[in-house]
Structure 1
């Protein structure tokens, strides 16, 4: 298709969408942002970053502090509620991770977690996020970087005494049976949970 024709088609689609001839998706149509969204989102993103720095540097005090006192963590090893229980679960898991991620001489590899795109929904003192994450380590040939795992964080947050904390984090691994996301867009489920609370 010539470039001029392609431009005309895109312009027509855009005009029809604006005019309402092509409806916007339900998830997009429901999302609104109030005047505090930017601050709330910044604080939630900082909380998620602190969570990852804490786990990558074995700072378990800082790690459990990202959760509400009755917060919940669900990952491949099970579901754990409360800071003490969460600490016990993740430190036990961390002590065994070297069995799976190690350098060529058998030493535990250096792991780093990274978050990619994240959709965050805020309703008052409650918030939700759907976030893609990846994990990498010096686990490749010659101790080079190798992408280890990847998946989705399904999060619920609560704001207590002016501070956002994780109420529940569900860690999904896309390559583990029964621990992957989909097939539906996870942002839709997040929006539905937020809309249910707002009603």
Structure 2
């Protein structure tokens, strides 16, 4: 694979991750899930490295994400500097610095009991593994690691 071919792959993967955060911000969960391979996984971690949930397959990703976000939430994601390693014509890995904001209403009665949150502001890194299937790049595995999370009850 020559340098120009690698650059085309890198730009395609940047666009794929941009589609991912766009779909997340607009809560287009089926569209977001379609960016994964059929058996793709998404595993977000807490700041201490603990796995929060492991979602396997498009259907579980499309179902679990809106459940975790909650009804009435507003989402904002930002991707920053990326490191992309093109391993072959069908395989690549990357690291994206990220920031996300989740703002949601607190269900009635929860604020008094200290449950739930109204705002979460997180910082960390997306670590995707990509594969090319039928000429299209997809996310085969996505790991989210956190370096900081600020929560407002």
Q: What TM-score do you get using the length of structure 2 for normalisation?
A: 0.75
When the two chains are superposed, the root-mean-square deviation of aligned CA atoms in Å is: 2.3
Structure 2 unaligned regions, length at least 5 = 46-51, 105-118
1:175 CA displacement? 2.4
Instruction: Please say if 1:80 is aligned against 2:29.
Output: no
Instruction: Please say if 1:128 is aligned against 2:93.
Output: yes
Q: In structure 2, what is the equivalent of residue 113 of structure 1?
A: 77
Cα distance in 2 between the residues matched to 1:65 and 1:114: 20
String of CA shifts for 1:47-69, please: whole Å, max 9, x gaps: 10000010110111210011000
Secondary structure in structure 1 of the residue aligned to 2:63: helix
CA, structure 1 residues 137+168, in 2 after alignment: closer, same or farther (shift >3 Å)?
A: closer
1:33 CA displacement? 6.2
1:147 CA displacement? 8.2
CA, structure 1 residues 69+138, in 2 after alignment: closer, same or farther (shift >3 Å)?
A: closer
Contact 1:126 1:159 in 2 (8 A): yes
Question: Larger helix proportion, structure 1 or 2?
Answer: 1
Larger relative CO (CA 8 A, sep 6+): 1 or 2? 2
Cα distance in 2 between the residues matched to 1:91 and 1:132: 23
Q: In structure 1, what is the equivalent of residue 18 of structure 2?
A: 49
Secondary structure in structure 2 of the residue aligned to 1:48: helix
* Number of residue pairs matched by the alignment: 128
Q: What TM-score do you get using the length of structure 1 for normalisation?
A: 0.59
Cα distance in 2 between the residues matched to 1:93 and 1:154: 20
Structure 1 unaligned regions, length at least 5 = 1-31, 99-107, 140-145, 177-199
Q: In structure 2, what is the equivalent of residue 69 of structure 1?
A: 38
Task: Give 1 or 2 for the bigger CA radius of gyration.
Answer: 1
1:138 CA displacement? 6.8
More off after superposition, 32-41 vs 65-74: 32-41
CA, structure 1 residues 59+169, in 2 after alignment: closer, same or farther (shift >3 Å)?
A: same
